[in-house]
Amino acid sequence: MSQVLVYEGFEGSTFPPVGWTVLNNGAGNIWAQNTTASYAASGTQSMVYTFTSSAAAAAWAFSPAIALDSADSVTITFQQRVGLANLAEALKVTVGTAPLVASQTMVLYNNNNLTNTVYTQRTATFIADSTATYYFAFNCYSPADRYKLYVDNIRIAKPVLNDAQLLTLSVPASGCALGAAEPVSVVIKNSGVDTISNFAVNYLINGSVPVAESIATAIPPGNTLLYTFTNAANLSSAGNYTIRAYTSLLNDDDPYNDTLTQHTEHIASGAMVKSSLETVSIPDNSNAGVYSPLVFCGLPNLDGTSLSLDYLRIDSISHSWISDLSIYLISPNNDSILVSASNGGGTSNIENATFTDSASINIATINTGGIHDGFYHTENPTGLAAFHTGQNPNGTWKLRVVDNETGDVGKICKWTLAFKASTSITSKGQDSEVVQVFPNPTRGTIIIDVKNKSPLLYIKVRNSSGQTLYSESTKIMAGTDMQVELEKYGKGIYLLQLISEDGVLTKKIVVY
């Protein structure tokens, strides 16, 4: 039987969770469920007490019933933060034999000056003095007119005898040249009280069949072991990879710390559009800010002619007061532009905000109402064209977000950066209006629409190295079209050559 007696992260659809009880023992508010992801320690939800200006808090949340024998030892851990550092909150953890205030006779944890705005783990212990059913309670008793107190990831557990905890999982960083034998390593900690050995450690890629290997080395209590899998990971194909690792120890008493997941990407050469994979937390009131990376490779120089930046899209930044934020875009060459600073007003979240140089609305004019579902020009007057210096665009682009005020935090959930290639034409009296190719960029399918009098006689597709991938003799008459599939050749930049009696037309096609 697992030694973890209760684990609650408040991620369910109902509150209080099954088995829990909440009550208000005064004139203040009651514990409630927070559903704003930026105020959760993990996941998207937590438990929150919200102030009233006229009454002190007397909110109680009681755990499910826990049967303990005399002398059983229990450790209670939970994560906690407050809404504003200058408005301290107060919290007790108690235990008793009924889910009633009067029955909570022993205080296990007490702090009336909680000011941390970043989640901090708190710990309390309890030894049962008799065999009985116990209830653990979380009591917010903050004075009136404070702000908010958050609690998340409550864990109540007996001492663990056997526990193979997975501390870290290391996988290759996203890059353009990942191969068929990439290392996967884990650090395993014996978090129990007995020595462990002869157990399995596993990893799997994108939900495939697990790779299982045996750990024969004995790990004493409290010690760690670095283990690199003998069977390396095959990441040779371009694409996104989710790698999950876990331990398999017989009679493991804590199943909640056995598994870790990491993401990486084999980046396709020539990919023109990229979106971020990982959610990144934004530190509160920190000039250092935080960076979210995107890696590109196989692109020509960024000169604004053969290649230019098309758009920057902030798909989602979760934050409860977006005018606290300054946002920058930084190139691999370490050039930087200001995208937005202190805009959007006192609203929450930035959603689907697209920045282009052709947008008529400057983001600096958005002082109220939020930033969402629109096209904007950056605060930098030159815009994305500021990067069109001929610099090498390959490498890591970064979105930097700085929170300039205390009290609200958030996360970079997703952002997207897109390039576009200009069409180049080499012809004998023929121009781009007499033969149209669309869409461009494309996900793989292009349509060749012939408008000139002479029919097309020959079609050829080459990659960036000059290798011919596709060629066909044809006769497409004026007023008709032809479909060509390029998806099988992968993402990248291709040269499409169209030959007729009027001459030769060459178009650059982008597949993303």
430 found inside a domain: no
Q: Which of 209, 241, 266 is the last residue of a domain?
A: 266
Residue 253 confidence (pLDDT): 82
Are 406 and 451 contained in the same domain?
A: no
Structural domain of 351: 273-421
Are 21 and 151 contained in the same domain?
A: yes
For residue 152, give both structure tokens.
């998340």
108 found inside a domain: yes
426 found inside a domain: no
Are 36 and 178 contained in the same domain?
A: no
170 found inside a domain: yes
From the first residue on, what is the mean pLDDT of each consecutive set of 10 residues in the chain (512 residues)?
81 96 97 93 95 96 97 95 94 98 97 94 95 98 96 92 94 93 97 93 97 97 96 95 97 89 91 89 92 94 90 94 97 97 94 92 94 93 96 96 90 94 43 68 83 62 77 66 84 79 72 85
Q: What domain count does the chain have?
A: 4
Are 409 and 330 contained in the same domain?
A: yes
Q: Which of 398, 421, 444 is the last residue of a domain?
A: 421
Residue 442 confidence (pLDDT): 86
429 found inside a domain: no
By C-alpha distance, which of 184, 257, 180, 179 is closest to 227? 184
Residue 1 confidence (pLDDT): 35
Query: Cα torsion for 169, 175, 176, 182, to the nearest 10°?
Result: -20
Are 38 and 180 contained in the same domain?
A: no
Are 106 and 121 contained in the same domain?
A: yes
Are 148 and 210 contained in the same domain?
A: no
Are 15 and 153 contained in the same domain?
A: yes
Are 119 and 20 contained in the same domain?
A: yes
Are 151 and 14 contained in the same domain?
A: yes
34 found inside a domain: yes
Cα–Cα separations (whole angstroms), residue 260 to 46, 88, 182, 223, 477: 21, 34, 18, 19, 59
Are 280 and 254 contained in the same domain?
A: no
Task: Give 439: exposed, middle or buried? Use CB within 10 Å, 0-12, 13-18, 19+.
Answer: exposed
Task: Give 161: exposed, middle or buried? Use CB within 10 Å, 0-12, 13-18, 19+.
Answer: middle
Are 188 and 313 contained in the same domain?
A: no
12 found inside a domain: yes
Q: Which of 387, 421, 455 is the last residue of a domain?
A: 421
